[in-house]
Amino acid sequence: MANIDTYINKLKDFEGLQDKIKKAILGKQGIILGEVKKRLYNQGVDGNLKPMGTYSKSYREYKKAKGRVSSKVTLRDEGDWYRSMSLMFTDTNRLIIHSSEDRKTGELENMYGEAILFLTNTEAQNIRLTIIDPIVDKYLKELSDLNLDDIII
């Protein structure tokens, strides 16, 4: 039998659920960003799945000479911008991809659009299915395990 304090404390845990989810997402930052970087590099598409285009002829020749992908825009040359990526939450709790390379990010966003730092719907859904849902499901199970009929007041 549970007492009312146990139930109330479990309900209070709900207030911390958002922080648990944020912490879990940031704990998987490397995996999440790895998927974003693979998409940018392998597919050359932004978070809206829109192709970022092709490089100019001279830049394609430069990329070919360095043995790098030149057939599509990958936003990767030396890798500095990719390494500068991180996940963060806005004041409104929206998950965003951030780059500490502010000057370079601004230039890239001007050229290719702000969606270069967006998650695709599939990437966001994978975060929900593999990180968020299990945390919420665990909380709801723990809450439902408390039988309200057995609470002692």
Chain centroid to CA 6: 34
Residues in the chain predicted with pLDDT less than 50, given as ranges, are none
DSSP 92: T
Amino acid code (one letter) for 121: N
Which pLDDT score is estimated for 16? 85
Q: Which long-range contacts (CB under 8 A, 24 or more apart) does 137-140 make?
A: 139/13, 139/14, 139/17
Which pLDDT score is estimated for 135? 94
Which pLDDT score is estimated for 23? 96
Which pLDDT score is estimated for 101? 79
Calpha distance 60→153 (Å, rounded): 74
- Count of C-beta atoms within a 10 Å radius of residue 32: 23
Give just the sign of the alpha carbon dihedral 125, 131, 134, 138: negative
Calpha distance 2→23 (Å, rounded): 29
Which pLDDT score is estimated for 36? 97
Chain centroid to CA 93: 12
| The residue count for the chain | 153
**Average pLDDT over the chain, rounded to an integer:** 89
Calpha distance 148→57 (Å, rounded): 70
